[in-house]
């Protein structure tokens, strides 16, 4: 049924408009207690599969990746679908409109998404207010169903690279007290110069600034690690030696984990008319074509770091076989975005029930 609706109705709408409409609908259901309970019973039944990762009690191992809920406005609503954690953002210290529309495109033939959103968000101060409300909302849920909240932070576009560490620090100061874990995003292709911050020389001061800000802002962290866990989200387009360099930097600086991976700028992963279309458009590609490289990066990192870092795998997870494979290759958690767009609201529950059966 969802496939029919998607093909005949949603694909007639601009992709960003369709996203806002569907997310608004889910949040509307969440505001009505009876509908919220019914929705949860239908879509997320049988999804409990607790796991401790990063010193935090995750209700299950599947989460919503950053980019879907940029302003932290629908965290409890997303738990209706079964997600055990929601990573909000990317949030920047200062609000910004992002790139001009259209900036989000479906690549239907490859079950992929092309986006050049450009970190459109309301800024860290606004996100803090939304997270305060989100914390109050999820506190009403039974303890075992309360999602873990990750906060993904990035650089404000107008801030010079030389001032990036201070920009990230400002976001961390405001958001760390409300985050179960923090993510440094230096891997989006849609902010000019951002990926240059993945070099060890540029990234280390950002890590230091965020860790110090979180330590100062949070006296009693939720994690049993004794601090707010910090992760770095990396790009799939890095050479293997650069991936290893970031992993080594993470180990040396006390980072707790890596997220593998962000979107790719490699158009060769696409086929047919989608490839021709994407060749003429800026932006990063997510979805099934990303799976192979994202899997390679996951295995590379896990072989190199052993059990010294936690890894969240994201990129091209289309069904339960993909999720099982990522966990089997060493991921502690998996995330999705495009899989939900193409699979529909029942998709997360199906993935999670399959993971429980195969456990």
Adjacent-strand bridge partners of 152: 183
What pairs with residue 58 in β-bridges? 51
Q: What is the DSSP string of 216-258?
A: HH-SS-SSTTSS--EEEEE-TTS-HHHHHHHHHHHHHHT--EE
Alpha carbons 301 and 331: distance in angstroms, whole number: 10
CA–CA distance, 348 with 359 (Å, rounded to integer): 17
**How many residues are there in the chain?**
359
Chain centroid to CA 286: how far? 12
SS3 113: strand
Annotated binding-site members for substrate = 70, 115-119, 185, 190, 262-263
Q: Which residue has the tokens 């800000």?
A: 213
Q: Nearest to residue 243, comparing CAs of 286, 289, 187?
A: 187
Structure-block tokens of residue 33: 């207690």
Rounded CA separation 105/109 (Å): 12
Q: For residue 334, give the DSSP letter.
A: E
Distance of CA 22 to the CA centre of its chain: 18
Binding residues: 66-70, 90, 115-119, 152, 185, 190, 233, 261-263, 287, 316, 337-338
- DSSP-derived 3-state class of residue 187: coil
d(Cα 314, Cα 147) in Å, to the nearest integer?
Answer: 18
Round to whole Å and give the CA distance between 141 and 158: 39
Can you tell me the distance from the alpha carbon of 264 to that of 115, in angstroms, rounded to the nearest whole number?
A: 10
Q: Which of 39, 44, 171, 188 is catalytic?
A: 188
Q: Which residues are annotated as a binding site for FMN?
A: 66-70, 90, 152, 185, 233, 261, 287, 316, 337-338
Do 61 and 333 touch, CB atoms closer than 8 A?
yes
Structure tokens at 31: 């505001």
Residue 24 annotated as catalytic? no
Q: Which residues are known to be catalytic? A: 188
């Amino acid at each position: 049924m969802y496939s029919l609706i998607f093909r005949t109705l949603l694909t007639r709408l601009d992709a960003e408009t369709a996203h806002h409409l569907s997310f608004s609908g889910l949040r509307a259901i969440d505001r009505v207690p009876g509908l919220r309970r019914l929705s949860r019973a239908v879509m997320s039944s049988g999804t409990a599969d607790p796991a401790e990762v990063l010193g935090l009690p995750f209700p299950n191992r599947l989460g919503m990746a950053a980019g879907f809920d940029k302003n932290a406005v629908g965290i409890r609503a997303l738990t209706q679908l079964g997600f055990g954690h929601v990573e909000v953002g990317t949030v920047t210290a200062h609000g910004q409109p992002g790139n001009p529309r259209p900036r989000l495109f479906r690549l239907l033939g490859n079950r992929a998404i092309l986006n050049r959103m450009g970190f459109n968000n309301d800024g860290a101060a606004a996100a803090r207010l939304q997270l305060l409300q989100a914390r109050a909302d999820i506190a009403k849920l039974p303890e075992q169903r309360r999602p873990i909240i990750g906060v993904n932070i990035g650089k404000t576009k107008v801030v010079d690279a030389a001032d990036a560490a201070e920009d990230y620090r400002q976001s961390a100061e405001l958001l760390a007290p409300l985050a179960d874990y923090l993510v440094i995003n230096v891997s989006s292709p849609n902010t000019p110069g951002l990926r240059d911050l993945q070099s060890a020389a540029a990234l280390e001061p950002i890590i230091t600034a965020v860790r110090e800000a979180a330590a100062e802002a949070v006296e009693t962290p939720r994690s049993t690690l004794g601090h707010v866990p910090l992760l770095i989200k990396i790009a799939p387009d890095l050479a293997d030696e650069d991936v290893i360099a970031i992993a080594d930097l993470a180990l040396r600086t006390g980072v707790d984990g890596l997220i593998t991976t962000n979107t790719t700028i490699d158009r060769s992963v696409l086929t047919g008319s989608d490839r021709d279309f994407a060749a003429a458009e800026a932006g990063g590609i997510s979805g099934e074509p990303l799976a192979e490289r994202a899997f390679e990066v996951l295995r590379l990192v896990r072989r190199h770091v052993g059990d010294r870092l936690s890894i969240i795998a994201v990129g091209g997870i289309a069904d339960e076989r993909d999720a099982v494979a990522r966990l089997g290759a060493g991921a502690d958690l998996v995330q999705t975005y495009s899989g939900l767009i193409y699979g529909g609201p029942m998709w997360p529950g199906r993935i999670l029930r399959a993971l429980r059966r195969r456990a």
